């Protein structure tokens, strides 16, 4: 379905494609064209206090937010890119500059929230940015995202390059680049760390913590959300990393601290969390 939307979005005017997506999302949700099974499980975990009417409104708001993400991709791929970048509001930017000034690069870790491609485009205006790409199907859609991100000025490392992916990210940090990783669920062949996340046990990628430990690059969590026509990026306080402790212990503790920040972020803005895949992998969520 998203390939069809992408094809139409490249043909239609951006404002028209945005209106069509917004209008047809409820229909697609009712017809089952959008599989909301995992989404409902994940949203219920971070918003257990909602009654059924409120919860259904949250599901709809979340899927519409996802539709907005796609509409913004069309803008990023068009001559309107500068207009959408003007709608980005950034909080904590001095902290990012301070981290980069240490000379080790910086690892920016965030959940799948709002529009991380837009955040990467904003960051690439000021710094060298390296990110990863999960190999998705169909292959054509994977190429669409690869081409989009490189066109926005980001260097992209496919996750299926295995151990070589971490090596390329370490090299980027040694060159003082910003490595941006979306890390609230397992992707590709990444190494997982068990953590407590939003009230349940989940596996999150070890990559952000491992890179910070190996390179001494500051590890900064980021939070994204929509508010009206704007998208907000908030850089949070760096997560402390004990470089003298054993690697296994540090990666476990640091990933848990990162999971705590992610949990706070998605609980604050559940409508903008792209939680369409299983997070807890069948281990359940504590009641």
Domain coordinates of the chain in residue numbers?
2-272
DSSP 8-state secondary structure symbol assigned to residue 237? P
Of 282 and 271, which is predicted with more confidence?
271
Indicate the pLDDT class of residue 268, thresholds 50, 70 and 90: very high
Q: Which of 203, 241, 201 is nearest to 221 (CA)?
A: 241
Given a cut of 90, whether residue 190 has pLDDT beyond it is no
Given a cut of 50, whether residue 287 has pLDDT beyond it is no
- Name the pairing type of β-strands 106-110 and 219-227: parallel
Given a cut of 50, whether residue 283 has pLDDT beyond it is no
Kindly tell me the burial class for residue 51, based on how many C-beta atoms sit within 10 Å of its own C-beta (0-12, 13-18, 19 or more).
exposed
Of 113 and 15, which is predicted with more confidence?
113
pTM: 0.90
What is the rounded CA–CA span in Å between residue 36 and residue 126?
A: 37
What is the rounded CA–CA span in Å between residue 15 and residue 83?
A: 13
What is the rounded CA–CA span in Å between residue 132 and residue 145?
A: 11
What is the rounded CA–CA span in Å between residue 45 and residue 198?
A: 7
DSSP 8-state secondary structure symbol assigned to residue 285? B
Q: First-to-last CA distance in the chain?
A: 35
> What average pLDDT does this structure show over 2-29?
64
> What average pLDDT does this structure show over 40-47?
94
| pLDDT (0 to 100) of residue 284 | 38
Compute φ and ψ for 71, nearest 5 degrees. -60, -40
Calculate helix-pair angle for 116-124, 52-76, nearest 10 degrees: 40
Q: What is the pLDDT of residues 205-258, one digit of tens each?
A: 999 999 999 999 999 999 999 999 999 999 999 999 999 999 999 999 999 999
Where are any strands of DSSP class E within the chain? 88-91, 106-110, 129-133, 154-158, 178-182, 192-197, 200-205, 219-227, 230-235
Least confident span in 24-33, 85-94, 203-212: 24-33
What is the rounded CA–CA span in Å between residue 42 and residue 105?
A: 33
Mean pLDDT of all residues belonging to the chain: 87
Indicate the pLDDT class of residue 164, thresholds 50, 70 and 90: confident
Given a cut of 60, whether residue 161 has pLDDT beyond it is no
Q: What angle do CA 104, 109, 110 make, to 5 degrees?
A: 155
Q: What is the CA radius of gyration of the chain?
A: 18
H or E element in which residue 276 lies: none
Do residues 285 and 40 lie in contact, with contact meaning Cβ atoms separated by under 8 Å? no
Compute φ and ψ for 79, nearest 5 degrees. -70, -5
Given a cut of 50, whether residue 286 has pLDDT beyond it is no
Q: What is the pLDDT of residues 47-91, one digit of tens each?
A: 999 999 999 999 999 988 988 888 888 888 877 788 889 999 999
Indicate the pLDDT class of residue 11, thresholds 50, 70 and 90: low
Indicate the pLDDT class of residue 162, thresholds 50, 70 and 90: low
């Amino acid at each position: 379905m998203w390939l069809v939307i992408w094809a139409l979005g490249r043909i239609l005017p951006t404002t028209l494609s945005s209106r069509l997506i917004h209008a047809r999302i409820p229909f697609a949700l009712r017809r089952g064209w959008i599989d909301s099974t995992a989404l409902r499980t994940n949203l219920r975990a971070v918003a257990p206090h909602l009654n059924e009417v409120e919860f259904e409104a949250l599901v709809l708001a979340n899927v519409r937010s996802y539709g907005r993400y796609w509409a913004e991709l069309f803008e990023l791929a068009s001559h309107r890119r500068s207009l959408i970048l003007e709608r980005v509001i950034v909080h904590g930017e001095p902290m990012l500059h301070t981290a980069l000034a240490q000379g080790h690069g910086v690892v920016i870790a965030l959940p799948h929230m709002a529009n991380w491609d837009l955040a990467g485009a904003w960051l690439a205006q000021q710094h060298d940015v390296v990110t990863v790409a999960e190999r998705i199907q169909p292959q054509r859609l994977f190429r669409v995202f690869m081409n989009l991100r490189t066109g926005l000025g980001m260097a992209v490392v496919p996750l299926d390059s295995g151990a070589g992916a971490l090596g390329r990210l370490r090299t980027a940090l040694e060159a003082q680049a910003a490595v941006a990783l979306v890390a609230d669920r397992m992707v590709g062949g990444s190494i997982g760390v068990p953590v407590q996340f939003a009230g349940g046990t989940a596996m999150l990628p070890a990559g952000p913590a491992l890179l910070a430990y190996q390179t001494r690059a500051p590890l900064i969590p980021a939070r994204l959300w929509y508010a009206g026509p704007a998208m907000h990026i908030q850089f949070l306080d760096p997560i402390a990393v004990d470089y003298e402790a054993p690697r296994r212990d540090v990666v476990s503790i640091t990933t848990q601290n990162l999971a705590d920040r992610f949990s706070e972020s998605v609980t604050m803005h559940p409508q903008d969390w792209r939680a369409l895949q299983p997070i807890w992998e069948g281990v359940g969520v504590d009641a």
